[in-house]
Every structure is written in C-alpha cells, then in structure tokens.
Amino acid sequence: MPVSLQQQGQQTTNQPPVKLMAPGGTREMALAALEHGADSVFVGPLGWSRRPKTDELNDAEMAEVIDYGVHHDKDIRVAINVMPSPREMGLFLNKIEQFAKLGAQGVMLCDPGCMREVRARFPELEIHVSVTAGLFNREDIHLYRELGADIVVIPYRWGQTEIEQIRDQAGVQLEAFLFQTPERSWICPGRCYASSFFHIAHKNDASDKDHFIGSASRGGSCHRICRSDWQMMQGAENLGGELFAERQNLKASPELLLWELPRYLELGVSRLKIPGRERSVELVVAITAFYRRVVDQIQRGNHDLSGFEAEWQALKGRWEGEKRKRDSKQVRLALAG
Ligand code: SF4
C-alpha cells in the first residue's frame, strides 16, 4: 500500500477548500449528486457536449438544475465543449447566454476561437479548458490563459510529476480528474477523430443544430471504438502482413484514484472532477459520497486513507463493470450502423 504524506511527515498547506465536482448526465443524477456531497456538477445541453442524448439535458432540465444551484449555494458548470460550424456560432453563443442568465457560473469549452469570443461577451463566467482541448504542455496552458481561460483540466494521462512541473507557472486554476489512465493509453482526448469514420450521419434539429452522429467534437457522441477488440496486423494482410495481436483494445480503461489525492490538494488543485455522465445515478451518488468523505478527511489534515481502501476497490469494480457494459453497447451500435 502506498505511504501517505502524513506518514512521510509532510504538512498540510493552507489551501482554500477544493471543490468536488460531479457529473450530471441526467437531471436526476445532477440533483442527487448535489444532495450527496458535490459542491458543483457539470451538465451538458442536448447536442452540445459530446455525449449521446441520454446523457445530456434538455433546456427545461438545464434550467431546473441551474435553478437548484442558485438556491442551494451550489455551482453549476455547463459542458459545451464542441466545435461549432460557422452557421452554428449564433446558436452556440445564444445557448451560453441563456445558461449564464439563469445563473450558471462557468462553461467548459474546447475550441480556442470560441473561448476568446465567450470571454469577451460573458466576463462573469468562469471558463474551463475542457480536457477535450487536448492540452499537451505548459505552453498550451499559457495560450488558453491568454484566450481568457480561468481553469484548465489537467489531462488524465498526466500524473503528479507533470502537475508539479506546471503548477507554479500555469497562471490558472487546476482541475484534476479523479481518474487516470494507465501509462499505455496516450491517446489524446479531443484530438481523436476515429469514431467519425464509423457511421457518421447528420441530423438537424428544429433550431438547425447539426448533431453529427458519430463525431463527438461536432456534437454527436463518440462510438468508443477504441474500447473494442481489434485484430492488429503488421503490414497489409494481402501483402503478407503478419498478425501480431488477436484481440487488442486501443485504450486502457481509466481507474479511479485514491492515494494521489493528498498530494493533489497539496499541489493546489482547486477542483476535483468525478467523470461519468454515462454511469448510473446510483453509482455516481456512491462515488460522490465516497470522495466527499475522502476530501473532507484530507482537508482536516488526516492523510491516512487506508480506511477507504476496501470501499474504493469495490467502487472501482462497479465503475469498470458499468463502463465495459456501456462501451460494448456503443461499439455494437456503431459497427452495426
Ligand atoms: S474513439 Fe476512444 S479515444 Fe477516440 S474519442 Fe472516442 S473514446 Fe476517445
């Protein structure tokens, strides 16, 4: 078991309380997460947040969740992290204006041009650089800061070393996912268009928004083909290529974190983000309540997390089980389409 920082004799620094942010894939999930310990939730409007419509909210649901936040001192963030086409720009800005007027406090964006425009028009909103912006290095963070970003989401393929390297010069708040991919998964979110080659289709809604089925960056949903099993060939099959992997996932599954959290807080991470808008409400509530207790304990100065290990292992198992089921379904639908 990893040794806690307290055991190593390090001290807790006086950081402002870190915010625990949970997913709101549905209205029910968002409200339940807020009632079970989340300080903040992120919700995505239909067609604008890289998820299937089952994990996004319609306008009435968005309004209800934002209103709940306004009246319960909770902080609602809108994931609107797609790349609008020129003809969708008006719709995109109108959406943001609508949610800002209702009381949303921040937006998650990935498109640099849109970021600058949103900064100029909505100075009251906090702008998060979504993980799907595909940050690679400190210079990328500086670029987004110049465009008006307040918070960057640390890529989940980064670890403590990378955070240590950038934190003093980032000039923005840091938001960390509560999961991390094992080392072999260096696919960069936001810069993968693989899914678009499978069953891309267009569907315009009443407002003329194009939902680009199959392309997450354009507002459809990714088919998660990286999570399917692939036969890998060295060279073309008809030219004598050789099979070198019979069943290979392209991307390893991210795992929920525990032991790293004291160090994250010590490094000044200001938000901890639970992913999983596509998970069940029950699992999101359980994970939110779990991390609420973990974070509260760390913030009280107790960094010995060993008492949480059994529960963490059980949650990791449930997380992986739901993920496998969900990914397989999406891959089947994509390949059948
Ligand atoms: S195919 Fe995989 S890596 Fe590519 S965008 Fe989808 S989930 Fe991400």
β-strands 126-129, 106-109 pairing:
parallel
Q: What is the DSSP letter of 203?
A: -
pLDDT tens across 231-267, in order?
778 777 677 778 877 777 777 777 899 999 999 999 9
Q: How far is CA 137 from the centre of its chain?
A: 18
pLDDT tens across 268-295, in order?
999 999 999 999 999 999 999 999 999 9
* Atom 8 of ligand 1: nearest residue by CA position: 189
Q: Quick one: average pLDDT of 115-120?
A: 98
pLDDT band with cut points at 50, 70 and 90 for residue 5: very low
For residue 38, pLDDT beyond 50: yes
For residue 108, pLDDT beyond 60: yes
Domain-located, residue 200? no
Q: State the distance from the centre of ligand 1 to the C-alpha of 221, rounded, in angstroms.
A: 10
Q: State the distance from the centre of ligand 1 to the C-alpha of 192, rounded, in angstroms.
A: 6
* Atom 5 of ligand 1: nearest residue by CA position: 192
pLDDT band with cut points at 50, 70 and 90 for residue 184: low
Ligand 1 atom showing the smallest separation from residue 189 Cα = 8
Q: Which of 99-108, 255-264, 302-311 has the lowest mean pLDDT?
A: 255-264
For residue 157, pLDDT beyond 80: no
Domain-located, residue 195? no
- Whole-angstrom distance, CA of residue 201 vs CA of residue 248: 27
Out of 251, 253, 278, 331, mutate this one to test ligand 1's pocket (max ligand atoms within 8 Å of CB): namely: 251
Q: What does the CA dihedral 291, 296, 297, 299 come to, rounded to 10 degrees? A: 120
pLDDT band with cut points at 50, 70 and 90 for residue 25: very high
Domain-located, residue 317? no
Q: Count the Cβ atoms, other than its own, within 10 Å of residue 94.
A: 11
What residues make up the domain containing 33? Answer: 19-185+254-310
- The answer for 235, left when phi > 0, alpha when psi is -120 to 50, beta otherwise, is left
Domain-located, residue 136? yes
Ligand 1 in reach of 224 Cβ (< 6 A): yes
User: What are the structure tokens assigned to 200, written together?
Assistant: 């891309």
Amino acid 12: pLDDT: 45
Q: Quick one: average pLDDT of 120-140?
A: 93
Ligand 1 atom showing the smallest separation from residue 222 Cα = 6
- Whole-angstrom distance, CA of residue 156 vs CA of residue 185: 10
- Whole-angstrom distance, CA of residue 101 vs CA of residue 309: 42
For the chain, the 3-state helix, strand and coil shares in percent, each to the nearest 5, are 45, 15, 40
Domain-located, residue 321? no
Q: Quick one: average pLDDT of 304-311?
A: 98
User: What are the structure tokens assigned to 25, written together?
Assistant: 């894939």
For residue 11, pLDDT beyond 70: no
Q: Quick one: average pLDDT of 116-144?
A: 94
Domain-located, residue 245? no
pTM of the entire structure? 0.88
- Whole-angstrom distance, CA of residue 283 vs CA of residue 278: 10
Domain-located, residue 148? yes
User: What are the structure tokens assigned to 93, written together?
Assistant: 């800005």
- Whole-angstrom distance, CA of residue 184 vs CA of residue 96: 37
Amino acid 197: pLDDT: 80
Q: State the distance from the centre of ligand 1 to the C-alpha of 120, rounded, in angstroms.
A: 31
Distances 38 to 42, 120, 141, 177, 231 between C-alpha atoms, Å: 10, 30, 27, 14, 42
Number of domains the chain contains: 1
Domain-located, residue 73? yes
- Whole-angstrom distance, CA of residue 194 vs CA of residue 214: 9
Residue type, 59: D
Ligand 1 in reach of 222 Cβ (< 6 A): yes
CATH label of the domain that carries residue 169: 3.20.20.380
Q: Quick one: average pLDDT of 301-315?
A: 97
- Whole-angstrom distance, CA of residue 209 vs CA of residue 48: 9
- Whole-angstrom distance, CA of residue 141 vs CA of residue 28: 34
